[in-house]
């Protein structure tokens, strides 16, 4: 068997840190970070960048890249040291492919029972409009999902928003829906983000107009956040645009990251954007149908003990 070896020069912790003993100043920082996590617990997991901006605004933490990197380091060690819950923070952009495999027939029947108990009707199916949410920061997707899920609005990561494959798949999906579509986008306020958003909107629209099965199919792109107006309204911290970005030459003012907005504000903005496009009467009707369907479905499913229908 092959063995995994590590250089003795690598002093980075691995696994848990059982003897984690942070310094007094680090304990003070972690206490402030925990206050932020407690305040926004219903929006877990938060990204470290969101915690960083809350610390800057509420506790006067240095708004520098060096301070952000120190925060990343201490939060990583605090999670390894069991001071902060792993469930509270997400710092990855991992894509997961799950397996719908089962131990045996009884395991599958239990799965079906759970599906019946949590049966959810597609609230978009009866709407005249298809809606999708695209978020730039992959770590924020769980937060966006919790807002969009009650409306059956799917959420996607726009990390590869500008890839040709992603754009063509989006256009194909819109054409299959055979109705109008609106794409709600949340991303950073900077030259690169704005330029990519505009180019994607133009490219996807061109594909849709060429491939649409009939004239009722169309697509509109809406920049939900972050906008110049929101940066001003919420007094968000800004930074000069990157000089290495050629798009900065025509950019007026500073740049700002989406995560500078508090999680509850992001949720309110996204929820309002979805509800502007949703037919409320149809949504209420679908929710009533959902409750009736769930009762009927559960009456037809096998009992939890593997017996016949309840």
286: phi then psi, degrees, rounded to nearest 5: -65, -35
Report the DSSP beta bridge partners of residue 302: 309
21: phi then psi, degrees, rounded to nearest 5: -135, 85
* Res 65 pLDDT > 70: yes
Gap between the Cα atoms of 154 and 138, Å rounded: 14
Quote the mean pLDDT of the chain: 89
Gap between the Cα atoms of 82 and 200, Å rounded: 42
Cα–Cα distances in angstroms (integers) from residue 17 to residues 13, 69, 75, 87, in the given order: 7, 20, 12, 17
What DSSP letter does each residue of 250-269 carry, written as one string? G--S-BB-GGGS-HHHHHHH
**pLDDT over 70 percentage in the chain:** 91
pLDDT mean over 177-199:
91
CB neighbours of 195 closer than 8 A, spacing ≥ 6?
A: 247
Cα angle: 88, vertex 90, 96; to 5 degrees: 125
* Res 274 pLDDT > 80: yes
Q: How many residues does the chain have?
A: 310
Q: What is the pLDDT of residues 54-64, one digit of tens each?
A: 999 999 999 99
Cα four-point dihedral sign 166, 96, 43, 110: positive
pLDDT at 4: 44
Gap between the Cα atoms of 197 and 187, Å rounded: 9
Q: What is the pLDDT of residues 68-126, one digit of tens each?
A: 999 999 999 999 999 999 999 988 766 677 888 999 988 998 899 999 999 999 999 99
């Amino acid at each position: 068997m092959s063995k995994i070896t590590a250089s003795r020069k690598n002093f980075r912790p691995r696994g848990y840190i059982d003897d984690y003993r942070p310094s007094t100043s680090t304990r003070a920082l972690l206490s402030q970070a925990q206050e932020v996590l407690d305040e926004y617990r219903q929006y877990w997991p938060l990204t470290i960048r969101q915690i960083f901006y809350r610390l800057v605004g509420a506790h006067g933490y240095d708004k520098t890249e060096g301070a952000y990197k120190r925060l990343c380091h201490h939060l990583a060690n605090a999670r390894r040291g069991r001071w902060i819950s792993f469930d509270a923070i997400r710092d990855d952009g991992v894509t997961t492919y799950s397996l719908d495999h089962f131990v045996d027939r009884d395991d599958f029947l239990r799965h079906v029972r759970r599906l019946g108990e949590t049966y959810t009707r597609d609230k978009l199916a009866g709407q005249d409009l298809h809606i999708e949410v695209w978020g730039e920061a992959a770590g924020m997707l769980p937060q966006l999902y919790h807002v969009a899920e009650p409306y059956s609005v799917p959420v996607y990561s726009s990390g590869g928003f500008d890839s040709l494959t992603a754009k063509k798949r989006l256009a194909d999906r819109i054409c299959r829906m055979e109705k109008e579509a609106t794409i709600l986008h949340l991303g950073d306020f900077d030259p690169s983000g704005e330029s990519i958003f505009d180019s994607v909107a133009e490219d996807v629209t061109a594909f849709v107009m060429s491939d649409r099965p009939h004239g009722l199919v169309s697509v509109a792109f809406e920049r939900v956040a972050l906008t110049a107006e929101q940066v001003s309204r919420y007094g968000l911290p800004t930074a000069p645009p990157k000089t290495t970005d050629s798009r900065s030459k025509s950019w007026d003012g500073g740049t700002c990251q989406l995560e500078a907005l508090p999680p509850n504000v992001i949720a309110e903005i996204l929820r309002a954007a979805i509800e502007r496009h949703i037919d409320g009467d149809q949504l209420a009707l679908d929710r009533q149908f959902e409750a009736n369907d769930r009762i009927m479905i559960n009456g037809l499913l096998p009992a939890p003990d593997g017996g016949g229908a309840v």
